Amino acid sequence: MIDTTGKGVVLASYGRGVLVQPDWTAPGAAPPGGVSPLRCSLKGRKQRIVCGDRITWVYEPANDGASVESIEPRHNLIERIDLRGRAEPVAANIDRLAIVVAPEPAADWFLVDRYWAGAQLKDIASSLIVNKSDLGLDAIRQEIEIYRGLGLPCLETTIQSAEGIERLRSVWTDGVTLLVGQSGVGKSSIVNAIAPEAAAQTAPPRGVTLWVPKPLSSMLPESATSHRRPALSARPNGDSSRSTP
């Protein structure tokens, strides 16, 4: 017998289980501390769930916990190609893509082209975030202007002086933003600068970060962001970030 059922968004995926932020459905505002994330098991091996998925969960005492009943249709799916040339799902239901580069490490412009082309195919708005501008941009200024000329919005930022951070905060006030780029360009640092309480892990080996200013709540343990699959961390007022190595 099912005692409880509800909907929510997937914060992290751990092989045969996921961490879900339940929707707040009770009358009135959510409690100040937010609604705690719910750990759910998966039903069957055919359920392939990624961060950002909207799901329906059920709580069955006989199964000693909650499980994922169904996945809502995705309006898009971000994938990357693994070392064997296979498509690997990364995140779903993304509203915009922020491609992050920096003077150090040296920018991989081919990677930028791939991300931008993929976003165009998915009809996802894109921008180029040039981080660590305090290190000087003379060496990459020509490439930045080329992308601007091609119509890709470019914004220069630095965590040291907070240049451009307030602009990002104002632009990312709604929807879901996926930050992608090489390791070390400062994706998690940008999220931490926008929302210090998000506590996104810095210096992951390789990955993406997701910014979701939506009604999510509660802090995930920092170790969640170091798992092989994407993980999203949320802060009590609703701002969230996700990283995957």
Domains in the chain: boundaries: 4-244
pLDDT in tens, 40-73: 998 877 778 888 899 999 987 777 789 999 999 9
d(CA 22, CA 53): 12
Question: What is the C-alpha separation between 96 and 72, in angstroms, rounded?
Answer: 20
What architecture does CATH give domain 4-244?
3-Layer(aba) Sandwich (3.40)
Find the largest Cα–Cα distance for the chain. Answer: 65
**Most confident segment among 45-49, 129-133, 226-230:** 129-133
Q: Tell me the percentage of the chain whose pLDDT exceeds 70.
A: 73
77's enclosing H/E stretch is: strand 77-81
Spatial CA neighbour of 209 closest among 40, 16, 33, 78? 78
Nearest to 157 by CA among 105, 203, 101, 109: 101
Verify cis geometry, omega within 30 degrees of 0, for the bond prior to 89. no
Question: Quick one: pLDDT band at residue 142, thresholds 50, 70, 90?
Answer: very high
Measured CA distances, 150 to 116, 145, 223 (Å): 11, 9, 39
Tokens of 48: 């392939």
Q: pLDDT by residue (tens digit) across 173-200?
A: 877 888 889 999 998 889 888 877 555 5
Q: Please, is 129 exposed, middle or buried when counting C-beta atoms within 10 Å of its C-beta (0-12, 13-18, 19+)?
A: buried
Instruction: Give the residue carrying structure tokens 């490490």.
Output: 105
Task: Assess whether pLDDT exceeds 80 at residue 225.
Answer: no
Across the range 99-108, mean pLDDT stands at 95
